[in-house]
Amino acid sequence: MTVTLARPVTATRPDADAADVVRRARRAPRRHHRRLVAGLALVLAGAFVARVLLGDYTVTIPDFLRILGGEQIPGATYIVMESKLPRAVLAVLVGIAFGVGGAIFQTTLRNPLASPDVVGVSLGASAAAVSVIALAGWSGWPVSAAAILGALAVALAVRAVAGDHGGFRLVLAGIGLAAAMQSVIQYVFTRVDEYDVQLVLRWLTGSVNGVAWPSIGLLAVALAVLLPATAWAARSLRATELGDDTAAGLGVARRRTDVLMLLGVLLVAVGVAAAGPVAFVAFLSGPIARALNRGRTSLLAAGLVGAVIVLAGDYAGAYAFDDLNLPVGVVTGAFGAPFLLWLLARGRTGRRAA
Amino acid sequence: MTTATASPTASAPYARLEASDLTLAYADTAVVRDLDLAVPHGRITVIVGANACGKSTLLRGLARLMRPRSGSVLLDGDAIHRLPTKQVARTLGLLPQNPVAPEGVTVADLVGRGRHPHHGPFGRWTTADDEAVAEALALTDTLELADRVVDELSGGQRQRVWIAMALAQGTDLLLLDEPTTYLDVAHQVEMLDLLAELNARRGTTIVMVLHDLNLSARYADHLVALHTGRIVAEGTPRGVVTEDVVRTVFGLDSRVIDDPVSHTPLVVPVGRHQPRTSPPSPPSHSSQENR
């Protein structure tokens, strides 16, 4: 038996060159990521401007700035301040919440199918919200609180059923619970007055239309707390990505991962509370951001992709069909379903993709 | 970064990692029972045994990945489960059997993740981290792979990169669960040579689970033979690898001869198969055992 022996260990203290090789090798992916984030931010800004200024009622930039300054322009002020601008702002916030929340799920559970909208967390929030609206007559912020509790309840239930195993068992348990939540919503549907149907429909598909500024402000405040907390907790993701045992060996406490998952649930829940479960945004954003980032995880890019998706989806839903004003959830649902099939067909449901 | 300078001396080595009356269990099944083990400092300890004898479980228990059902694992005299996990990670490194390389991750990035336990709650990457990673890459001869994507490497290269990640952690103790799985025999030897050199140069205490009894006997200073969750024999390979122990641990009849290269015990299985009458070549096809 001939064996090529490893070269003997030569270096005990690396020279400056070796450290420099490492520095350079580490720089390249970071630079790509920075460029990607800058590019996505530009696209998002462009989409935002288009959403606010263009469409069925065009506003010029000087007019827009004057409106923002508080000037009353007959017609324009109302349309911008009460329809176009809140819609665009909400779309961005909700998109970020879903994008980041979804990517947290997919990366932590190492499965692209384990996104909150597939495993029933979003629908749990919806089911709780429609129940208290239609059956208990609640309105305003208690509905949002119920939505958050609903999301948490489903997340805990999925985890209890799946145990420590994660992976496919978790996805299957989640799909089952998602179906159960859907039937709760449908049951509530049969009980509501005709007057409330429109409202309940919103909790089923998700829409950024007709949300008042105070609700948007509430979401902004929630994100201002949740996103920095996520940025802090997500530092352990770099270790958790390497598998549970490796992460434990690197000193990442299980609790740390739980905190991150909780933040993911809350991000999705506050998003649903504000705009309903905009279908598949949480599911799509992570993998798209990953593909753009050469396969690497980026929560930041996922958030930006989510925001672009919701903005573009809302724009398309509002203006793509002359006589129809589709809620954004219908548009994203139409794009999400084929993507889900594509993901399954490519067989990338394992731990590699996300 | 911690670098032990002293090479192991001939005097009785002390133990920084110990299992005392340790019982590890999954649900209701005890896998490791009432086990006592002192890992000799600065030496290479190899745990061997048949499939499902509890050797991987024991390693996971030693690495604080499993909470003992009873008994304890002591690191420098303290119960390892009571110590802050990040503090343990600065002393004890672990390479599990199936680590996951995230998609698209580069070698330098992956190895850099071994620095995780050295970063505080808001810790930033420093020059010291760059140097630790460079050293780990140099030691495993993977520096020229630094900017390559891990997915695209060969099995042997990938395994060296994982070891580099564990080395970047800068620990005095290194636990490895079957670091040679999926490697061909040349790469198995290369991997074990690398670990032996690390042990010799840096005094890193190594504990590993290995499948191949003959390679275990060759590389181990301290060999631990496990059967149904208990230690059947431990000590020098010469003392542990006997025909009796092989029969107890693996249920295999064998002859133990002298390894002509390393002069460690070499197990030759007997088996039922007899070569066909007087073949011209030596019966090399029956020398592969216990796979």
Task: Please judge whether A22 and B98 are an interchain contact, meaning their C-beta atoms are less than 8 angstroms apart.
Answer: no
Pairing relation of β-strands B230-235 and B78-79?
A: unpaired
CA A165 to CA A181: how far, in whole Å? Answer: 23
Alpha-carbon separation of residue A294 from A39, A287, A298, A349, B251 (angstroms): 15, 11, 10, 18, 50
Question: Using the 8-state DSSP alphabet, how is residue B184 labeled?
Answer: -
Closest Cα of chain A to B255: distance in Å?
21
What are the boundaries of each domain within chain A?
Answer: 85-345
From B133, B185, B191, residue closest to A22, measured CB to CB: B133
Domain ranges of chain B: 15-242
* Residue A9: other Cβ atoms inside 10 A: 18
Q: What is the mean pLDDT of chain B?
A: 88
Nearest-Cα distance to chain A for B47, in Å, is 19
How is residue A122 written in tokens? Answer: 């979003």
Rg (CA), chain B: 20
Q: Which residues does residue B25 pair with via DSSP β-bridges, in sequence order?
A: B30
Q: Quote the minimal CA–CA distance from B177 to chain A in Å.
A: 11
Selected residues 1-20 of chain A with any CB under 8 Å from a CB in chain B: 1-14, 18-19
Contact between chains at A12 and B134 (C-beta distance less than 8 A): no
Per-residue pLDDT, averaged over B169-194, amounts to 91
Residue of B131, B171, B184 to mutate for A, most A C-beta atoms under 10 A = B131
Residue located via tokens 């958050």: A148
- Find the closest chain A residue to B198 by CA distance: A9
Strands B44-49 and B205-209: parallel
Q: Which residue of A has its CA nearest to B107?
A: A25
Where residue B27 falls among pLDDT bands split at 50, 70, 90? Answer: confident
* pLDDT tens-digit series, residues A206-265: 888 888 888 899 899 999 999 999 999 998 888 888 988 999 999 998 888 889 999 999
3-state secondary structure (DSSP) of residue B282: coil
- How far apart CA B231 and CA A193 sit, in angstroms, is 72
Contact B109 A297 (CB under 8 A): no
A139 in the Ramachandran plot: left (φ > 0), alpha (ψ -120 to 50) or beta? Answer: beta
Which of B7, B130, B162 best probes binding to A when mutated, by most A CB atoms within 10 angstroms? B130
pLDDT recorded at residue B240: 94
Q: What distance in Å separates the CA atoms of residue B108 and residue B138, rounded to the nearest whole number?
A: 12
B98 touches chain A (CB under 8 A): yes
Per CB-CB distance under 8 Å, the chain B contacts of A352 are 103
Alpha helices in chain B (DSSP H): 55-62, 85-88, 107-112, 127-139, 155-168, 185-202, 213-219, 237-240, 243-250
In sequence order, the 6+-apart residues with CB closer than 8 A to the CB of A51 are A84, A87, A88, A91, A311, A314, A315
Question: Topology of domain B15-242, per CATH?
Answer: Rossmann fold (3.40.50)
User: Between chains, do A9 and B198 touch, taking CB under 8 Å as contact?
Assistant: yes
Contacts with A126 (C-beta within 8 Å, 6 or more apart), sequence order: A147, A150, A181, A185, A203, A204, A272, A276, A277
Nearest residue of chain B to residue A4 (CA atoms) = B186
CB B241 within 8 A of CB B257: no
* Nearest CA-CA partner of B147 in A298, A24, A20, A30: A24
> What pLDDT is recorded for position A6?
47
What is the rounded distance in angstroms from the CA atom of residue B109 to the CA atom of residue B101? Answer: 11
Across B265-271, average pLDDT? 91
> Nearest CA to A264 among A82, A68, A50, A119?
A119
Query: Pick the residue with more confidence: A344 or B285?
Result: A344
Going by the DSSP 8-state scheme, the letter that residue A80 receives in this structure is I
- A266 vs A281: CA distance, rounded Å: 15
B6 near A CB under 8 A: no
* pTM beyond 0.90: no
**Block means of pLDDT (10 residues each) for chain A, length 354 residues?**
46 67 90 95 95 85 86 84 90 97 91 88 91 83 89 92 76 91 87 74 82 89 96 89 90 88 93 89 92 90 96 89 83 85 63 39
Residue B201 reports pLDDT greater than 70: yes
Of A53-67, B24-38, B224-238, the one with minimum mean pLDDT is: A53-67
Lowest mean pLDDT among B36-45, B108-117, B229-238, B266-275: B266-275
Contacts of A10 in chain B (CB under 8 A): 138
Indicate left, alpha or beta for A182 from its phi (over 0: left) and psi (-120 to 50: alpha).
alpha
Handedness of CA A26, A258, A270, A316 (dihedral sign): positive
Q: Is A196 on the interface with B (CB under 8 A)?
A: no
Q: Which of B95, B108, B139 sits opposite A22 (nearest CB)?
A: B108
Question: Measured between alpha carbons, how far is A86 from B49 in angstroms, rounded to an integer?
Answer: 67
Are the beta carbons of B138 and A11 separated by less than 8 Å? yes
For residue A68, the Cα-to-chain-centroid distance in whole angstroms is 29
- Considering the domain A85-345 in this protein, what is its CATH number? 1.10.3470.10
Percent of chain B at pLDDT > 70 equals: 91
pLDDT digits (tens, 9 = 90+) for B51-85: 889 999 999 999 999 999 999 999 999 999 999 99
Amino acid code (one letter) for A302? A
Q: With an 8 Å Cβ cutoff, are A243 and B135 in contact?
A: no
